[in-house]
Amino acid sequence: MITNNRSGLVAQLSSPRLLILLILLFALGLRLYKSSVHGLYLDEKFTLINTSGVSLEGYNQHDVFFTPGKTYFTPKEFWKEKPLKDYIRAIIQTDIGNSPSHYALLWAWIQVFGMSDLSIRMPSILFSTLIVGLVFLLVRRYLRSDSLALLCAFLTAIEPFFIAYSHMARNYCMTIFITLLGTYLFLRILDRRAEGKQPIGLYIAYGLSFALATLGHYLAVTIFLCHGLYLVLFNRDLKTYIGLGISTIGGAVGLIIPWFVFGGGKYTFQTLAYQAKLYGGLALTNPYNNGFGIILPATLGNVVKKSIPVLADLFMFSNGLSTDTLAFRNLIIAFALGCVAVLIIHRFGRGRSVPVWVSILIPLLLVAGFAVYSVQSPRLIVAAAVPLFYYLLSQAFLSYTNRPERRFLFLLVLMSTIPTLFLIAIAFRNGHTYGITQRYSGFSFPYALILVGLTVREVFRQSTYLRLTLAAVLLLQSYYIADLLYRIYEDQAPKYTYYGHYRIENPYATAANRIKSMYTPGDTVLYPSPRTAPRDEVENTYTTHSIIDAQYTNLYLPKDATYYQRMDTTQTDRIILVKGSTKQQVTIFDFEGTKYRY
């Protein structure tokens, strides 16, 4: 009886439902940890003003800040109710008319849960966690393995990209989740059509996912293009084409086209064309000191070097392999050694009886490059093992003989690569490499992680010599992933957090809290007001001095407050409280130039 009870308890504790629940809780914990410690960076501040209907520098607040003879303004005036056109204008100004579905969701969220850094980042945290669960469902259903589904879910839970972007009040986690949901709905539609059914509800949901994802970020369309390509290659059912066509057109006509024709989206493509011309010119004339970052001409060499780290970071076993830190020459040598190892394994190392020399030579090949590497980094061991991992991934593909499963794997490959290939094509078209960046190919991460899960499982199916060798490499790579997560939490991973130094808590929220606690009737709040330098007509509010610090601070002040506030054009860094009774000046916060203006 004791044995039976214990075996029953073990079965319950190891059940897929319990394990995925634990993984989801673990993922949520990783995303909540330090989620509100670091102040908002620039794009997040744009998110806040867009969801508040505030145009940066006061285009729709002239009566608050710029009325002739009006010296003071109050939070109550700042927070006056704004029409829909103000929200649209704000999105045009700071986000080129992109992401209206994210802003609409976040606006509703703020109405319920209020305005705080944790609150506005919570949707990203929740969507990032839900991605973990959806990956589990996708793998379990279409690769028919609970253990593989749990492994892929765990890898998704610890993926640095999803953890870093869950700490940002931006559209990425929401849009990636919706595109992943769209993929699941697409496959379920094909399942139901194979059964001879007409899934009207799934069609409607798919069309809605297409619309919301595209309105979350226009590059989400690359995943739906993969769906279309898959359909053309593998489906001959006319009714499926009609159903998916109507659902997609319905989503486009109902939501996407109105926004891009009549709403703020009509400025998206105009701005993209302007940026392509601007960045293309800078790539040729001032690639390094232009104020935007490094923008190189789109030569074959530049595009390859810029693409390597983006593609490498999609797959956890190659994360961190960069030409900047390891040198292109070293990566080529390591990759060549790995290819030699693949040839030897394919020819001599796959049988039941593996020659001893093979089991000795394979590990040696992974470290042989250190005799000629110019950088003595252990990461080059990982680089040398990358061809082996891809070889095992191909072997994992071959182990699936069922046609639907093999087609699903093909779809995974499409969705793991097409978004980045699209960025590369755009780079050549525009003449610069500025758009080849990790976050724009982020839609591929869920599918790439499933491929990583297949690879890791295949590693532990190999002969002892190869299993131990690659397990050691995976252990080494796990150390680098753990170190990357630490640096993300410590705000020291610029590729993921955009910052290489530790940001303090939100300076504007801090200033607002100090004003609320110290302000008494008769006091006046002074805001720093540096001279403005607009780059184009959209940015220009036709004023000579900035009101940005006042706008950001008022976002955190009570909407009905009547604190007297004014701009101080004599200084550029301090928020000051002037006590009415004594005229004493108390520094509320000092931004110290750009130090705290993230």
pLDDT range class, residue 519, cuts 50, 70, 90: very high
Half-sphere exposure of 411 (CA within 13 A, CB side): 29
402: exposed, middle or buried (C-beta count within 10 Å: 0-12, 13-18, 19+)? Answer: exposed
pLDDT given for residue 10 in this prediction: 60
pLDDT at 360: 96
Residues in the chain: 598
* Residues 394-421 pLDDT 10s: 999 999 999 999 999 999 999 999 999 9
Work out whether the CA dihedral 214, 219, 221, 227 comes out positive or negative: negative
DSSP structure class, residue 265? T
**Distance from C-alpha of 62 to C-alpha of 552, rounded to nearest angstrom:** 16
Instruction: Please calculate the CA angle 231-190-176 and round it to the nearest 5 degrees.
Output: 75
d(CA 378, CA 367): 9
Tokens at 244, concatenated: 């998916």
Q: How far is CA 116 from CA 142, 168, 177, 253, in A?
A: 40, 13, 23, 35
Read off the pTM.
0.93
Q: Tokens in use for 499?
A: 């910052």
Helices 100-113 & 172-194 angle (0-180, nearest 10)? 110
Binned at pLDDT 50, 70 and 90, residue 581 comes out as confident
What interhelical angle do 221-234 and 403-430 show, nearest 10? 130
3-state SS string for 14-55: CCHHHHHHHHHHHHHHHHHCCCCCCCCCHHHHHHHHHHCCCC
Give me 55's structure tokens. Answer: 């145009």
For the cut 80, the answer to whether the pLDDT of residue 214 exceeds it is yes
| For residue 5, pLDDT beyond 80 | no
CB of 419 within 8 A of CB of 441?
yes
Structure token pair of residue 374: 């110019």
- Residue 293 has a pLDDT of 85
User: Residue 350 pLDDT > 90, yes or no?
Assistant: no
Instruction: Calculate the dihedral angle through the C-alpha atoms of 465, 470, 475, 477, rounding to the nearest 10 degrees.
Output: 160
Whether residue 3 has pLDDT greater than 70: no
161-165, 261-265, 363-367, 408-412, range with the lowest pLDDT: 261-265
